[in-house]
Structure 1
Amino acid sequence: MGNIHVFEKMAANYENEERIKIAKIIAETIQKQLPKGKEQTAIDYGCGTGLVGMELLSDFKSIQFVDASKNMIAMVEQKINDKHLSNATTLCVDGEVDPSVALHGDCIFLVQVLLHIPTIETLLSNLYRALNGNGQLLIIDFDYNEAVVSDKVHSGFKQQELIQTMKKIGFTNLKARTFYHGNQLFMNQEASLFILEATKK
């Protein structure tokens, strides 16, 4: 995943009041897209310190927290140990460059992950293979914002362009909507977040 060294440095001080607030809003938005019942397995890919996934543990049979940053994963493991969680596991791996790792789940969610990925098609293809049949991919990221100019991240995404990219990979039942607006939300710019839902055939 792109910018790993940045997240390694940020891990210990990553969580703040604003990030915790946004994580709860995102988790509530994801919950609305989930099927009823708690027999599914999930992967929180690019989980960071697990702010979103921890809010969703009661919605799944199990969640695997996956991140390329060892320090971020260490923060998640601390939470799992402190809370004595039995349905949470961790894996430190970069699925963008190491597709050989056997990831499998009924639901995968990526929260503000794609903007850090130079070649999103590679990661999305790997995650498509990781999904079980009829599995669900949920992407939460920033809408395209021309005010954001950076050589480190994408300037957000145009929903319909992302949908077309995912159709080529094989995803079906694609739909997206913007669900949150905020000031100084993205690179100190006013921005909005969308959720995109897709299914594996």
Structure 2
Amino acid sequence: MGNTDKFDMIANLYDTPERIQIAKVSSDAIRNYLVDAKSKNAIDFGCGTGLVGMDLLNEFNSVLFLDTSPNMINQIEQKISDFNLQHVDTLCFDFEKEGLSELHADYIFMAQVLLHIPDVEFVLSRLFEVLNEGGHLLIVDFNKNEKIDSDLVHNGFNQAELADMMTKIGYRDIQSETFYTGSKLFMGHDASMFILDSRKR
């Protein structure tokens, strides 16, 4: 996944008050879209230090934390050990490099991950294969922001264009909304965040 080296370097400094707060509003937004999830298995895709997934542990039967950064995964494993967490697993893996045919989930959520992925359509197609029938992919990310010009990340996403791309892949029942606006959220710029819910069926 994009920018793995950068995330490796900042892993042990990642949990700042600002990131913790954004993770909380993101996990709350995801929680609003969960349906009968207590018996379901979830993947926190591009989990970082697990700030979003940790807040959602009680919503699912089990959660797999997946990231390309070994140091981020180490941070999560430390939290799992510190809090003696059950029904939790970790996986260091890069979907952009290889497939993982034995991996399946009822819910996949990704918070501020898509903007780091160069080939968005390819990764969303891979995640579609991982979802069980009836499963949900939930995406939290920034709305497109023309003020941001970066070689490292996308400058956000147009919700309608993202939904069109996902429909072509096979996702259905796509709905999205802007749920949060904040100052200096995105590379020093004011920005808004959306959540998109989609199903495989």
- Give the C-alpha shift of residue 101 in structure 1: 5.2
Q: CA RMSD in A?
A: 0.8
- Answer yes or no: is the 8 Å Cα contact 2:3–2:116 preserved in 1: yes
The amino acid across from 1:172 in the alignment is R
- Answer yes or no: is the 8 Å Cα contact 2:43–2:65 preserved in 1: yes
Give the match for residue 199 of structure 2: 199
For 1:147 and 1:66, the matched residues in 2 are separated by 31
For 1:19 and 1:111, the matched residues in 2 are separated by 11
Give the match for residue 111 of structure 2: 111
For 1:8 and 1:138, the matched residues in 2 are separated by 25
Alignment of 1:136-175 (within 5 A): 136-175=136-175
Q: Secondary structure at the match of 1:126?
A: helix
Q: Structure 1, residues 82-117: CA drift from partner, whole Å, max 9, x if none?
A: 111111100000112211353210000011111001
Unaligned runs of 5+ in 2: none
Unaligned runs of 5+ in 1: none
* Number of residue equivalences: 201
Give the match for residue 133 of structure 1: 133
Give the match for residue 40 of structure 2: 40
1:63 aligns with 2:53: no
Q: Equivalent pairs: percent with the same residue?
A: 50
Give the match for residue 10 of structure 2: 10
The amino acid across from 1:123 in the alignment is V
Q: TM-score, normalised by structure 1?
A: 0.98
Q: Secondary structure at the match of 1:38?
A: helix
For 1:124 and 1:93, the matched residues in 2 are separated by 15
Give the match for residue 25 of structure 2: 25
Q: Structure 1, residues 18-69: CA drift from partner, whole Å, max 9, x if none?
A: 1111111111111110013510000000000000000000000000000000
